[in-house]
Structure formats: C-alpha cells, structure tokens
Copies of this chain bind each other. A is one copy, B any other.
Amino acid sequence: MSLKNDRFLKALMREPVDVTPVWMMRQAGRYLPEYRATRKQAGSFLDLCKNAELACEVTMQPLRRYDFDAAILFSDILTIPDAFGQGLYFEEGEGPKFRKVIRTAADVENLPEVNIAAELEYVMNAVSVIRKELNGAVPLIGFSGSPWTLATYMIEGGGSKDFRLAKQFMYDNPEAMHLLLDKLADAVTDYLNAQIDAGAQVVQIFDTWGGILTPSCYLEFSLAYMKKIIANLTKEREGRRVPSIVFTKNGGQWLEPIVASGADGVGLDWTIDIAEAKRRAGGAVALQGNMDPTMLYASPAAIRKEVDQILASYGSGPGHVFNLGHGITPQVNPDHVSVFVDSVHELSGQYHK
C-alpha cells in the first residue's frame, strides 16, 4: 500500500521533504476529551490497551483533530514485564505497579520463557487494526520501553524517585542485572519485530530512565542493550526501510554514543539546543524533537515563537522530525496542540528549498 504522506519516513532517512514532519509523544492521551471518554468506556487503562478496536480508536483520535505526520500505536511501555508474569496494574493517579518484583539473581533466573509475539498478541492485533484504519494516511509507529527502563520498573515494582532498588541491584549484582537485561533485550527485539510484521512502519525505543545513570553505567546497562536490539531488528518490510528511533530522556550528554547506536533517528529532550545536537550528530542520524512539553501551557504566540526558534536552530537540510522533548501532559488545552502542529508546517517550508 502506498503512503499518502511519507514525510516522516523520508525525514528519518534524511531525504528531502516539503515541510518538517511532526508528531507528539503521547499524542493519544488524556489531554483529549474524546480519549477520556473512550478510556471510561474501556474500563481500566490496560483494558483499553488490550481492546484492539478501542486502542485503534484512541490512536486515530489525534489524527482527526490535528495534521500529524505519524500515528503511534496506543499501548503501554510495560507490556513486556506483564508478559513475563509480573502482574502489571494501574492505580488511579498512581502510575504503573507490579504485583511481583525482581529482587534477587534467582528471581531473574526464574523468569519464565515467554513467546512475546504470542503472549502480546493483543498488541499485534491492535497494530493490524490501526494499519487498516489508517489506510495509508500516515505511517504507524510501534514502540517498546528499553531493557534498562523495563528493568527499573520490574525491580522497583513501579515508578521511583531515586531508583534506589534498581541501582542497588545493578551495583551489587551486575551479572544478574546483565542477565535480566539480556532477557529483556531478546524480548524487546521479538516484540518490535512482531509489531513490524503486523504492520508497524517505524519503531521507537523509549529509554525513559537511562538518563538517571552515570555515563559508564548508561553505556554498559542501557545503550549496549538498545544497540543489540537495533542490530537485530527487521530492516525492511513492504519494500521499504523500517527506521528505528532511540530516545533517552536526559541523554544529551551522551549524544555521540547514542548516534553511533545504529538507530536511524535519535530523540532529543529540550535540555539540548538542536543546533548543537545537529553539529555533534554530524549528519549520521535524523534528530527528533525537541520542544519543552510545558511550552504547550504558554500562549499560542509563545508556542509559535518557540517552534520558529527550534526550526531556525536546526536550520536548512533534511533529517529533522519535530516533536516534544517528552510526552504531552494531561492539562494541556487541545487548541494549543493545533497551534504547535500548524506552526511546524507553516514555518518550516523555508528550510526545505
């Protein structure tokens, strides 16, 4: 099937485009009243993820309102630990929790052998349904949490302020931690390849918590496993390259090794100037980002000015995918998202002549 809008794929391959493509992390989410309605209808958050039709519905909702250049599968980054039998659940307003946690080397060794594609069939079903519904309008992004990020939740049993237990495990049981990360890297690889088989045209690895590590621990316990995954991803499908994106929040200090990870695109948070990132990346990858998500609370004029500034900072030439530097937050006024998306398209043409 041919794509009606392939700007996003082209930008990721650093090919010329007419205007800079844009999507938004967590674009299907609580800031949209129609999302909140569907979520209510589904029951729990996980019920929503597991219902292919409703997951498709919330994936499509932002595309009906805004001129996004990509859709992203509606799911959670923690489906893999759940598939390993950790018992994922969500308490209202509390974030994710696990009924079982990893605390010892034996816990890691005793993790079951899991056929991820079979265990997470509901995700692949959602991918298929969404691809059909998209009907070639824009490409579909599949995704997973990074092994390190998944490991932190599996050890802590949920979110954390200081990741004390995960880091203690890493510092005191590096071999067991490596075994856990290796199992997770295999699972993520199978998971993303199954999503690609089901129709995902781009995949992104969310390394939400890599940035809390020291530089050497980041390379050893987070980036190394993302590299391994990228090396084993399906590279072509339907006669097209399937680009991969890595996003380490707070990873700006380690941009060079991230650029060398083998990914086609690198996500940036807002703590780095994208001009500096472009210089340091040296044209080896596309860059995705990087407006402060909190900017969406500012006035439309301030949003437009900031978009203009980031576009000017990236400057001429291909290889820029506009995005926020992290996910959109629930209290944003949906009208401000229009300003954001339209500003990117309206102001970026001059850099693509």
Interface residues of A (CB under 8 A from B): 162-164, 167-168, 171-172, 211-216, 250, 252-253, 270-273, 276, 292-295, 297-299, 302, 306, 329, 331
CB distance from A225 to the nearest CB of B (A): 19
Interface of A is mostly: helix
Bound CA–CA A241/B279 (angstroms): 41
Complex contacts, A295 vs chain B, CB 8 Å = 167, 171
Bound CA–CA A276/B254 (angstroms): 12
Complex contacts, A299 vs chain B, CB 8 Å = 171-172
Q: Out of B167, B252, B294, B306, which one reaches A294, CB within 8 Å?
A: B167
B215 pairs with A271, CB closer than 8 A: yes
Complex contacts, A162 vs chain B, CB 8 Å = 293-294, 329
B298 pairs with A172, CB closer than 8 A: yes
Extra contacts, 17 of them, besides A162-B293, A164-B297, A171-B299 (Cβ < 8 A), are A162-B329, A163-B294, A164-B294, A164-B329, A167-B295, A167-B297, A168-B298, A171-B295, A171-B297, A171-B298, A171-B306, A213-B271, A215-B272, A215-B273, A250-B250, A253-B271, A253-B272
Residue on B nearest A217 in the bound complex, by CB: B292
CB distance from A289 to the nearest CB of B (A): 11
Complex contacts, A171 vs chain B, CB 8 Å = 294-295, 297-299, 302, 306
Complex contacts, A213 vs chain B, CB 8 Å = 271
Answer whether A273 and B211 are a contact pair too, CB < 8 Å, given A162-B294, A293-B162, A297-B167. no
Complex contacts, A306 vs chain B, CB 8 Å = 171
B331 pairs with A167, CB closer than 8 A: no
